[in-house]
Structure 1
């Protein structure tokens, strides 16, 4: 599950944090096995907490669930700092942390950090190389295009060896194939249609072959998900919050980061088709089985809450998943 991480400006920041913690506890008790939180900066028109301290707070409620950065924008942050944040989270969770990384796409974020968006791929690759060195080497001496690290001993190490799992989130065809060549699991985004994902999986597998890698043990996928006992009610309740979220994505340029001619401003029913999971618990079971059987998805990360949505509705979705969906997928 994605932690509820964005709120509207008229909602209480303190109150929404407490709501989110209650949702994490409910997910834990319902049998969920992973919690993720993403990273964005300057998220107008919404409010969003900073990822690293929030993940640390979530860990206290997570029980045996894994935690993941979903994702850290590693192309605009210092890789030594990111590596140390990941190692700290790995220790806090007792070796149950997953490092999800992404390249980023919003011009506002790059400008705020004084980073040229045009060099983001090279920065992303160099940052990941440095992070792995910090995690695995006792001594690091690095002279790169963007970062220089004079010879230094590294004494802090992650719990998981050689390092926590790295998932790469990406949207474009070339990026998906590249993640395969790198041998890391592709974290499938929540925005692409299933038909697009199916095509891109072939690119990912081609990349694995080119890189000489075996298929990763996990294929994680993110989806927008809303349930109700009545299908029409599910659609009616989800639409205002989920559609508003995707109109914000459109203003950020997220749809232009996807392959093809994606447009998030189309009517909601058209936007949701082959993209969102909305309906009854039975509908959800059918969809999740399809992703597992047709795509090979092993790990589903569902976002159940969007800015402005009442906390009680999220808790009801968690309850339905725990009582009527998860038992049928074991």
Structure 2
């Protein structure tokens, strides 16, 4: 598996640092990740969140590109309904150039009701906006003189310049939580990102075959919370308050959206003290290197995954401690699971 880490640049009030200081610390952590041999740095997007959840993934991606030389940079995921496809194609091309061909574009349709209502975009339009938007983006990457008469965007005889470094285009991924999204990703020929909820990988592989595509040519990314420390107690002491903050926020959003199986139950989040002993902990890889390695081995047997995405820098957690956790993981765990 390719090994990557998710960064959402959240800076919650209980642990808040001045944002310039905090952003610099996150960039320093990503530079250290590259030195440790991680393959990917993934960025994620939400809007109007009090804890500062990163609303602008592409400027941050450009900053990472300027400070790194090897690690791939991607979005997991960029919320397509909130972006103009032409501007997105041009911005992604710029990052692809700045990084010399190290950018992956992952998109999703979004789910959080408050974002759609604030932007006055009907939530029922999210799927057609995403499908139309990513189709136009792909055509702008790969074609010249594009004319497109969509429901939401129209262009005539358009060619973007400069062109992306990666040809025919930067890799495109789709975030999938439902059967419809999974089928759409396979039908359009995009890689898949599995987010919270039931594993869509088997349905995705079957849909690729049905669409006449070779499943071995496509990648699947899976996200898990991972944190290593010298002792199990230390790992949970350093993560529990931050995991609780994260799960509570996602629980509120997902239970309101109720898009996939299990969403409605996400509002029932145990306290930080009880989280370690709750069912939520079963899907997390938190503990000593040996404990994390055992869980990863189980994961590797049970899930179809080419790109493993770690949530290690948790909201409000000290970046120095998170970096230390990544160093321990890179030394003690990663060599047994990373694809060279």
TM score, norm. by length of structure 1 = 0.92
Deviation at 1:47, TM superposition (A): 4.9
In 1, the alpha carbon distance for the partners of 2:66 and 2:261 equals: 39
What are the residue-to-residue correspondences of 1:299-314 with 2, within 5 Å?
299-314=307-322
In 2, the alpha carbon distance for the partners of 1:289 and 1:17 equals: 33
In 2, the alpha carbon distance for the partners of 1:47 and 1:117 equals: 20
Asked if the contact 2:229/2:288 (under 8 Å) is kept, the reply is: yes
Secondary structure in 2 aligned to 1:23? helix
Deviation at 1:4, TM superposition (A): 4.8
1:317 counterpart (314, 317, 325)? 325
- Aligned residue in 2 for 1:128: 134
In 2, the alpha carbon distance for the partners of 1:260 and 1:69 equals: 25
2:269 counterpart (261, 266, 271)? 266
Point out where structure 1 has 5 or more consecutive residues left out of the alignment. none
Closer, same or farther in 2 for the Cα pair 1:33/1:75, shift >3 Å?
same
- Aligned residue in 1 for 2:235: 234
In 2, the alpha carbon distance for the partners of 1:46 and 1:138 equals: 38
- Aligned residue in 2 for 1:211: 211
Secondary structure in 1 aligned to 2:167? coil
Deviation at 1:137, TM superposition (A): 1.1
What are the residue-to-residue correspondences of 1:4-23 with 2, within 5 Å?
4-9=8-13, 10-23=16-29
Asked if the contact 2:8/2:54 (under 8 Å) is kept, the reply is: no
- Aligned residue in 1 for 2:304: 296
In 1, the alpha carbon distance for the partners of 2:174 and 2:159 equals: 28
- Aligned residue in 1 for 2:106: 100
What are the residue-to-residue correspondences of 1:69-218 with 2, within 5 Å?
69-189=75-195, 191-192=196-197, 196-197=198-199, 200-215=200-215, 216-218=217-219
Closer, same or farther in 2 for the Cα pair 1:167/1:152, shift >3 Å?
closer
Q: How many residues align?
A: 324
Deviation at 1:323, TM superposition (A): 1.2
1:38 pairs with 2:60:
no
Deviation at 1:292, TM superposition (A): 2.9
Deviation at 1:271, TM superposition (A): 4.5
In 2, the alpha carbon distance for the partners of 1:137 and 1:127 equals: 15
Of stretches 275-284 and 97-106 in structure 1, the one that deviates more from structure 2 is: 275-284
- Aligned residue in 2 for 1:246: 247
Q: CA RMSD in A?
A: 1.9
- Aligned residue in 1 for 2:60: 54
Of stretches 285-294 and 116-125 in structure 1, the one that deviates more from structure 2 is: 285-294
In 1, the alpha carbon distance for the partners of 2:253 and 2:173 equals: 23
In 1, the alpha carbon distance for the partners of 2:119 and 2:263 equals: 30
Asked if the contact 2:222/2:308 (under 8 Å) is kept, the reply is: yes
Closer, same or farther in 2 for the Cα pair 1:4/1:74, shift >3 Å?
closer
TM score, norm. by length of structure 2 = 0.89
In 1, the alpha carbon distance for the partners of 2:263 and 2:7 equals: 29
Asked if the contact 2:201/2:304 (under 8 Å) is kept, the reply is: no
2:6 counterpart (2, 8, 18)? 2
- Aligned residue in 2 for 1:278: 286
Closer, same or farther in 2 for the Cα pair 1:320/1:77, shift >3 Å?
same
Which runs of structure 1 show a deviation greater than 6 angstroms over 4 or more consecutive aligned residues? Answer: none
Closer, same or farther in 2 for the Cα pair 1:305/1:113, shift >3 Å?
same
Asked if the contact 1:256/1:263 (under 8 Å) is kept, the reply is: no
